Amino acid sequence: MFEEFAEATAEKTKELLKENFFVEKLYGSNWGQILKMTKVLYEGKSKFQKIIIFENPIFGKVLALDDVLQTSENDEFIYHEMLTHTPILAHGNVKKVLIIGGGDGGMLREALRHKSIERAVMVEIDGDVVEACKKHMPNLPKNAYEDPRAEVIIGDGIDYVKNTDEKFDVIIVDSTDPIGPGMILFTKEFYSYCKNALNNDGIIVTQNGVPFSQADELVQTYKNRKCYFKDNRFYIAPVFGYVGGFMAFGWATDNEKAIDVSLEKLKNDLSNIEGVMRYYTPEVHKSSFCLPMYIQNKLKL
Ligand code: SAM
């Protein structure tokens, strides 16, 4: 029923305002957002999901999969900087990074800014997302795919971590929400394979939803990682295109020193990164692990 409502809303609005709208469907009819589409750059259906890339006056170019906003040109820096620099700088000696998902290319681009990184593997299930973003959102991958350190594998992330005998220093799970192909990336089974694919002092970080409206995902993934990692927590940042306030990033590792990396070391190691930051600072890194009470209360298990 909600599909029809959303389609009707978009149609009626289009008729009245003579403009095209994207109606987000993540929360069904409970809550959502609509974004004016001043231009549709790509629209298609892969064997996994609906893909649309459109232009919006506030967010710039926007990618949505199965009518859920994934990333936009104008706010992607927050999400990609926090999910790469936080674990890589906390670890302090990252040579190999594994990205699960990340089809828009932003995570790969951001990780490769670290000169210390010798190899970055990105395992994305949907090649159509990679190609559509390469063509229509080139500012996300920029020249990441031409970087000799990068390897892009089109496949299911769980198959990769299950079968690889390679060990990584950081694993970044840059997936869709736990619906459709993304669901498996939030399970105990997946985290157990990730544990095996990490070096002893390795860190896994995850896209972990918006605690205000996706608390179940927060709690369940916390429980699912707790069995395998000594240090298991979240850090936060506001990603403007994700309705509901702070977004949570999962953090799990046996490297219990990583969380206590000093501000001085973070400031010093910033010099090993190409280019400039637009969100991440060492102070933001440290403070992002301070959770407001409404999130702490959801984790009182
Ligand atoms: N920033 C976004 C967010 O927070 O929701 C995620 C961006 S990225 C587009 C998410 C990617 O995860 C998609 O390209 C999707 O195809 C990919 N994905 C979903 N399930 C996957 C799986 N099982 N293995 C690998 N990639 C997967």
pTM of the prediction? 0.96
Q: Which residues contact 41 (CB under 8 A, 6 or more apart)?
A: 53, 54, 55, 61, 136
- Based on the fold, state whether residues 246 and 99 are members of the same structural domain: yes
Q: Which of 14, 43, 72 is the last residue of a domain?
A: 72
Count of alpha carbons within 13 angstroms of residue 84, beta-carbon side: 28
One domain, residues 66 and 100:
no
Whether residues 135 and 175 share a domain: the answer is yes
pLDDT tier at 301 (50, 70, 90 boundaries)? low
Q: State in Å: Cα 128 to ligand 1 middle.
A: 12
CATH code where residue 249 lies = 3.40.50.150
Q: What is the pLDDT of residue 187?
A: 97
138 and 181 housed in the same domain = yes
Q: How far apart are CA 295 and CA 187, in angstroms?
A: 21
* Catalytic-residue membership of 174: yes
pLDDT in tens, 242-278: 999 999 999 999 999 999 999 999 999 998 899 999 9
Note whether 88 and 36 are same-domain residues: no
Query: Residue 13 belongs to a domain with what CATH number?
Result: 2.30.140.10
Identify the residues whose C-beta falls under 6 Å from ligand 1: 48, 65, 70-71, 79, 100-104, 123-126, 129, 156-158, 174-176, 181-182, 184-185, 207
* Domain shared by 283 and 231, yes or no: yes
59 and 90 belong to one structural domain: no
What amino acid occupies position 236?
I
Tell me, yes or no, whether 139 and 237 share the same domain: yes
Kindly report, residue by residue over 47-64, the tens digit of the pLDDT.
999 999 999 999 999 999
Ligand 1 centroid to residue 262 C-alpha, Å: 32
Domain count, the chain: 2
Q: Each residue of 152-204: pLDDT tens digit?
A: 999 999 999 999 999 999 999 999 999 889 999 999 999 999 999 999 999 99
Across the beta sheet with 68-72, the strand order is: 39-45, 50-56, 60-65, 68-72
What is the residue range of 21's domain? 2-72
Question: Is residue 218 within 8 Å of residue 244, measured between CB atoms?
Answer: no
- Count the Cβ atoms, other than its own, within 10 Å of residue 147: 16
Q: Does 104 lie in the same domain as 47?
A: no
Q: What does the alpha-carbon distance between residue 198 and residue 189 come to, in Å, rounded to a whole number?
A: 15
Closest CA to 104 of 72, 57, 81, 74: 72
